[in-house]
Amino acid sequence: MKRHHFWFLVAMIWGFVLLFAATMLAGQKLDDLASARAFDEVAALVAPAPETPPAGAASGSETAMTAYEKYAAVQARNTDMVGWLHIEGTDIDYPVMQTVDRPDYYLKRGFDRQYSDHGVPYVAENCALGYCDNTVIYGHNMKDGTMFSDLCRYEDEAFYRRHKTICFDTLDGYGTYEIVAVFKTVAYSERGFPYYRFTTADDAGDFDAYLCQCRALALYDTGITARYGDKLLTLSTCEYSRENGRIVVVARRVDTEQ
């Protein structure tokens, strides 16, 4: 009888464990679906390029409308929205937020400011858009392949060769960037490279020192460099081969029109 009770208790415990695991898995799946649906709704607010550009606009050019006009409805829905990030051929196609007085606010909040494991990509609070030398954007590496998960694919040089260009538009203008370096490091450790601290260069030496460290850690040679005066874009997400691991993609702006 005691043996029977023992195995009954074991079965009960395992049943609770499996039920808990199934509940957590179902909850995560629902969060994934809700996040995808929410971002689809936000993307629908982006104004499509006009079929017929106005007089004087370059034919077929996105400059037929200003960046502010394109993203005005998104920004009106949430005034923390400061830009839009897109990498052709990947799932990275999201609004970008910034809350200077509330660091990491969108780490665990959706575009609607409600709790979400996915968060929303956001600009570091110490970056003054339009003025800083290096704009740092953070995003999660989600198991469902969303947010900044595709940054990890840049470990493969062949993937980089097919996806060399990053588009980061702000409300002030469209922005095109070409990748300078891809590297892995550890955050918040003396063993790592604190790339997230560099936003403004005091002089050319400061700028060159940052680029030198990026190239020293680079997983491969892109053949692209940058010089003092260029505007940089740094994308960062978690990389799980080690504790507090990060994969970082650094790019330089190549367009000149705002």
pLDDT per 10-residue tile (average), the chain, 258 residues? 57 58 51 77 89 54 80 96 97 97 96 94 94 96 94 98 97 96 93 94 95 97 95 96 95 76
Which pTM value belongs to this model? 0.84
Range of the domain at 175: 78-253
Judge whether 83 lies within some domain.
yes
Judge whether 166 lies within some domain.
yes
Q: Which two tokens stand for residue 253?
A: 């702006």
The amino acid present at 82, given as its one-letter code, is: V
Judge whether 71 lies within some domain.
no
State the Cα–Cα distance between residues 140 and 257, nearest whole angstrom: 30
- pLDDT for residue 60: 47
Nearest to 137 by CA among 106, 183, 101, 174: 106
- pLDDT for residue 62: 52
Judge whether 116 lies within some domain.
yes
| CATH code, domain with 151 | 2.40.260.10
Nearest to 97 by CA among 143, 88, 112, 151: 112
Distance of CA 173 to the CA centre of its chain: 19
- pLDDT for residue 219: 98
Judge whether 22 lies within some domain.
no
Give the DSSP H/E element, type plus range, for residue 71. helix 67-77
Q: Where are the alpha helices (DSSP H) in the chain?
A: 2-43, 67-77, 157-162, 204-217
Judge whether 87 lies within some domain.
yes
Judge whether 86 lies within some domain.
yes
Nearest to 77 by CA among 104, 43, 31: 43
State the Cα–Cα distance between residues 70 and 83, nearest whole angstrom: 11
- pLDDT for residue 188: 87
- pLDDT for residue 49: 77
- Looking at the structure of the chain, the number of domains it has is 1
Determine contact, residues 3/10, Cβ cutoff 8 Å: no
- pLDDT for residue 190: 84
Q: What is the DSSP letter of 58?
A: P
